[in-house]
Amino acid sequence: MDMSEYKEIFRAESGEHLQQLNDSLLGLEQNPNDLEYINTMFRSAHTLKGMSATMGFNRISELTHEMENLMDMVRKSQVEVSNGLIDILFECLDTLEALVEAVDSGEEVDIAHLQATLAQAMEGTMPIQEIKGSVTASIDTIQNEIGNEIPDCSSETETTTEVACVIDNIELSDNEKQAIQEAVKEGNRAVSLNVILDESCVLKSARSTLVLINVSRMGEIIKCIPTEAELEDENFDLDFTVIFTTKSADEDIVSTVKKISEIKEVLPTTIAESSVTEEKVQDQKTEETEEKKSASAVKRSDAVKSIQSVRVNIERLDNLMNLVGELIINKIRLNQLASDLNAKELDESLANLDRLTNEIQTEVMESRMVPIDQIFSRFPRMVRDLAKSEGKQINLIIEGKEIELDRTVLDEIGDPLVHLLRNAVDHGIESEEERKQLGKPVAGLVRLAASRQRNSVLIEVEDDGKGMEPGHLRDVAVKKGLLTRDEVDKLSDNDALNLIFMPGFSGAKVVTDISGRGVGMDAVKNKIEALGGSVKISSVPGQGSIMKLQLPLTVAIIQSLMVTVADETYAIPLGNVIRDVGIKASDIKTIEGKEVIMLRGEVLPLLRLHDVLECPTEEEDKHNLIVVVVEKMGSNIGLVVDDLLGQQEVIIKTLDNKLLKNMKGFAGATILGDGSVALILDIATLI
């Protein structure tokens, strides 16, 4: 592995720790007295420091070391959590991100001013009179933090001596033995865990720190050999030992630790109870209730929760998906040949091929799916900073973080969501004074939610702000020369809301740096529709607005309904199809110059694909027509086609030809079993 590959690993793992720092800092801002956030931040900063020091990235190591010192003073109640402190730490995170980005370029990032600011923050210790009252609380905090590794010392002080208790040549002190005895009484067991790293391991300190984090999730760490400081400084060969108490089985311990890369062996050994009961322990002990201990364990687990996975370059997944696509095309071709030959043995072989192909396809598709939280996790910090710059209070609610999307889709929706959230904070939510006058809560509400719907994902961006006035939007369209007064007067209120998607439209009375001159709403709509999705808006003046983005789960392989129009074959994504029906031409009515039919008691608008695609009209039987009912963001429309060929799985190929690329109404193309090409209709842009 060359240095560039190590840098890639470093950047990926650093990103995870920076995100953990960011999330914990946001939590600390809302709950300044919850030291669990500080503990989590301390662990992430500690790991990042070790990784960067190993790689020789000294500026990152120095800055994280200073952050560690400051957070340690917060843990000891020597520095108070304040808005100023939060801002300093956020500035540190921004600088760390810049330093990580500069790993390849070698660009110089100045950290001297931040180091000076951190030093000033550390000088602002608590007044003497406040220290006395906090000593007992500090002792309690330390005990909770390290899981009662030490006995209760808030009421008395004892002189302890080292008592030789040798376990595999490891000496345990009285305090360490006592901690084990307490854990055993509560149903735990003591484990000596020997971890051996791969000979090729470069980031030894980082790996050892990750092991300690994973072990701490399963129980309470009693001792490390070598010490944590020696592990951090890589003052060890390839193995180290952790003594801890846990209720986890050996196989669970091995499985959890082996999820970390570059781990060669994990060897757990149960420590006999007799080894730690040689000395009589003191009778008076501070005991946590089971409820408190469970809650604490859950809290710690939640604070450091992360997804364990193997990193695979997205280009490899793309290549694999292309190969699967070719396999499916050939499978379809073989099925057609088999039906012509009518050979039983060939049919059986093809059935097996079909099963295997489907299984491979499912696995490849699943491997491309990632939680939408990878995008959503960026936004709490962004909304917090925007709200602060605007002098507003914003409560951001995020729902559906576990929903998964194709990596390609996920990478493309970041910018549109940033723009929608900026609009909600800047233009949607009123100022604090306005909200007070309107009788609304001072803090505005912005909701970002994802949910699974059939073969798609729905993302909603909602705010409880001022909403949009259709009349105002009509006036803006006329003022900017986008439409005439007669044209806008004919628009329904819902159509008037959609004026915001017109190029050059801006309904804001005041242009701001936050959302006024960047990507327009037309660009947001175009981006979503280019992915095969659609955008819908609803708004109530004085109550707020909701932007709904409907997105496909994947843009690689889809189920489609194959139809013909003027002897050409087209694919309609099955996710858009509601049903197909046969109608008589006499059933068609005209309302305001548009064709409609009554279907199941509802008025259904019709579109003749011959006209939309500008195909020649057949002079065949026009008395009986085939209609495919499709759905677009809650509205149904009927597409008139010549014939139905059935359902088929198709592989989406992008339209690289410049002429085809600029044609609206097509999501791509696919190769059919006979080698011919069929265009895939994009319902969102076609209608």
Per the model's pLDDT, the better-predicted residue between 262 and 561 turns out to be 561
Q: Is 203 a residue whose pLDDT tops 80? A: no
Separation of alpha carbons 572 and 560, rounded Å? 5
Residue 382 CB neighbours (<10 A): 15
If you average pLDDT over every residue of the chain, what do you get? Answer: 79
pLDDT value for 423:
92
Per the model's pLDDT, the better-predicted residue between 217 and 450 turns out to be 450
Tally helices (H) and strands (E) across the chain.
24, 24
pLDDT value for 508:
54
Residues contacting residue 224 through CB under 8 Å, at least 6 positions apart: 212, 231, 240, 241, 242, 243
Six-digit token string for 514: 């936050």
Helix (H) or strand (E) holding 670: strand 666-671
- Which residues make beta-bridge pairs with 535? 549
The stretch 451-465 carries a mean pLDDT of 90
Residues contacting residue 477 through CB under 8 Å, at least 6 positions apart: 483, 488, 499, 502, 505
pLDDT digits (tens, 9 = 90+) for 345-384: 777 777 778 788 778 877 777 888 889 998 999 899 999 9
Q: Given pLDDT bands bounded at 50, 70 and 90, which one contains residue 194?
A: very high
Residues contacting residue 175 through CB under 8 Å, at least 6 positions apart: 149, 150, 151, 160
pLDDT value for 300:
36
Six-digit token string for 325: 């696509």
- Which residues make beta-bridge pairs with 317? none
Residues contacting residue 114 through CB under 8 Å, at least 6 positions apart: 63, 66, 88, 91, 92, 95
pLDDT value for 276:
52
pLDDT value for 294:
40
pLDDT value for 287:
42
Residues contacting residue 512 through CB under 8 Å, at least 6 positions apart: 426
Six-digit token string for 70: 């400051």
Separation of alpha carbons 68 and 634, rounded Å? 52
pLDDT digits (tens, 9 = 90+) for 146-160: 344 434 433 333 333
Q: Is 442 a residue whose pLDDT tops 90? A: yes
Of 521, 473, 520, 463, the residue nearest 493 (C-alpha): 473
- Which residues make beta-bridge pairs with 628? 580, 639
Residues contacting residue 342 through CB under 8 Å, at least 6 positions apart: none
CB-CB contact of 237 with 204 (8 Å): no
CB-CB contact of 170 with 222 (8 Å): no
pLDDT value for 633:
60
- Phi, psi angles (nearest 5°) of residue 161: -120, 155
- Phi, psi angles (nearest 5°) of residue 220: -115, 125
Helix (H) or strand (E) holding 101: helix 83-105
Percent of the chain with pLDDT over 90: 25
Separation of alpha carbons 358 and 178, rounded Å? 57
Which residues are known catalytic residues? 46, 68, 423
Mind spelling out the 3-state secondary structure of 323-355? HHHHHHHHHHHHHHHHHHHCCHHHHHHHHHHHH
pLDDT value for 376:
93
- Which residues make beta-bridge pairs with 93? none
pLDDT value for 669:
86
- Enter the pTM of the model: 0.60
Q: Given pLDDT bands bounded at 50, 70 and 90, which one contains residue 164?
A: very low
Question: Angle 142-147-153 (CA atoms, 0-180°, nearest 5)?
Answer: 50
pLDDT digits (tens, 9 = 90+) for 563-607: 999 889 999 988 788 899 998 888 899 888 889 999 888 889 999
648-676: buried (b, 16+ CB within 10 Å) or exposed (e) per residue? bbbbbeebeeeeeeeeeebbbbbbbbeee
Strands 602-608 and 624-632 turn out to be: unpaired
